[in-house]
Amino acid sequence: MERYFGSEKVPHPFVNAVIALGNFDGVHLGHQYLFQKAIDIAKTHKGTSVVFTFDPHPVKVLAPESCPPLIQTLEQRLDSFETLHLDACVVEPFTHDFAQQTPEHFFERILVKRLGARAIVIGYDFTFGFHRGGTIEVMEQLGAKYGVEVAVIEARFVDDLLLSSTEIRHFISIGSIDKAAKMLGRWPCIEGKVVSGKGLGAHLGAHTANISPANELIPGNGVYLTVTHIEENPPTLPLKKGGKGGIWPSITSIGHNPTFPGEPLSIESHLLGFQGNLLGKNLFVDFIEKMRDQVAFPSVERLHEQILKDIEEAKKRHAHHKTL
């Protein structure tokens, strides 16, 4: 997949571009359906499937106090696009000046002239242009004027719940991993670098990787069954199950460790069976299910006992899920 950071960086219009237009935070099943529609239309026109997205999220620029924590980093979003076999991606820098464009100016100058739009694929709730004046109706009118097909994807549902990034954020934030995973079509994941901690894990009988997250959205406090990917530089591809640069069954604790009042929020992963130093490594942690809430224990000894129980329970659950 070709990547362009700014529409002005595209050297020439794409051939019969079919453009999937939106923010696509999380790249959930609804987004994936929209992308497949764009790919299918591109095939009928012998054209190019292109995803056009924005960075930062428009709400971060226009109303930062209202912007929710995003499910994915930009790089994670781009990697998700890559796996869906889109031909190209254009990441448009979103600024106050960019937001001042009229819908027609954006449509004609960027989508048609710069990118060579033959068709546009959008979600049912997409808006664009100055003061969000570009409604679906306006998009269809502009499409008719410039000879561009406009395909609108209707709302989709999972278990009678609207499939949306907002719902997924809610479920991840409260630790409902199973519901979030159903909507994402994969396990929720966070990425982060291993940094020095206080060494409490080792003191309590379980070495942990203390993760400084790159993601804004973190699962709610609790102990989770996880799978941890160790990223090498350069990476070993394909990743192997276990071993250096591999994928490990793990258990991850998120919270303020209520047994030790006043502790800051921490994300600590224990990789089952791993021996080695992870400091400075980049980790990707997939969340499979929540095992229990974080609770305050009456003593360090009681906490130590619970950690050992958690590890044994995690081994059983990994075997049940056949995660590796």
Domain count, the chain: 2
Residue 267 contacts residue 280 (beta carbons within 8 Å): no
Structural domain span for residue 97? 2-158
C-alpha distances out from residue 140 to 102, 107, 134, 199, 212, Å? 15, 11, 10, 59, 45
Mean pLDDT in residue range 165-189 = 97
Task: Read off the CATH number of the domain in which 304 is found.
Answer: 2.40.30.30
Q: Quick check: is 176 in a domain?
A: no
Statement to judge: residues 10 and 153 lie in one domain:
yes
Q: Is the pTM of this model over 0.85?
A: yes
Q: Is the model more confident about 185 or about 243?
A: 185
pLDDT for res 298: 78
Residues 122 and 194 both lie in one domain: no
Whether 175 is in a domain gets the answer: no
90 found inside a domain:
yes
Residue 163 domain flag: no
Q: Among 143, 145, 139, which Cα is nearest to 123's?
A: 139
Q: Say if residue 192's pLDDT is above 70.
A: yes
Predicted local confidence at residue 203, as pLDDT: 52
- In the chain the beta strands, taken as DSSP E runs, fall at 2-5, 17-21, 48-55, 88-93, 117-123, 149-153, 157-158, 161-162, 189-195, 209-213, 222-231, 247-255, 266-271, 282-292
Residue 201 has what pLDDT? 53
- Between residues 217 and 276, the one the model is more confident about: 217
Whether 174 contacts 194, CB under 8 Å: no
Instruction: Assess whether pLDDT exceeds 50 at residue 112.
Output: yes
Would you say residue 198 has pLDDT above 70? no
Residue 241's pLDDT band (cuts 50, 70, 90): very low
**Strand order across the 117-123 sheet:** 2-5, 88-93, 48-55, 17-21, 117-123, 149-153
Q: Is residue 39 domain-shared with residue 105, that is, in the same domain?
A: yes
Q: What is the pLDDT of residues 265-296, one digit of tens each?
A: 899 999 999 988 999 999 999 999 999 998 87
User: Are residues 148 and 286 located together in one domain of the fold?
Assistant: no
Confirm whether 177 is domain-assigned: no
Lowest mean pLDDT among 79-83, 90-94, 126-130, 156-160: 126-130
- Does residue 170 lie within any of the structural domains? no
3-state class of 226 per DSSP?
A: strand
Residue 244: per-residue pLDDT: 45
**Within a domain: 169:** no
| Virtual torsion, Cα 283, 32, 30, 176, nearest 10 deg | -20
Give the mean pLDDT of the chain. 91
Q: Vertex 1, ends 36 and 74: CA angle to 5°?
A: 85
164 in a structural domain: no
Please check whether residues 215 and 132 belong to one and the same domain.
no
The reply to whether 226 and 307 lie within a common domain is yes
- Assess whether 6 and 151 both reside in one domain: yes
Q: Which residue has the tokens 């530089």?
A: 233
Q: Which of 62, 61, 146, 155 is nearest to 103 (CA)?
A: 146
**What's the pLDDT band for 256 if we cut at 50, 70, 90?**
confident
pLDDT at 249: 95
Give the CATH number of the domain where residue 56 resides: 3.40.50.620
Residues 83 and 135 both lie in one domain: yes
User: Contact 249/312 with Cβ under 8 angstroms?
Assistant: no
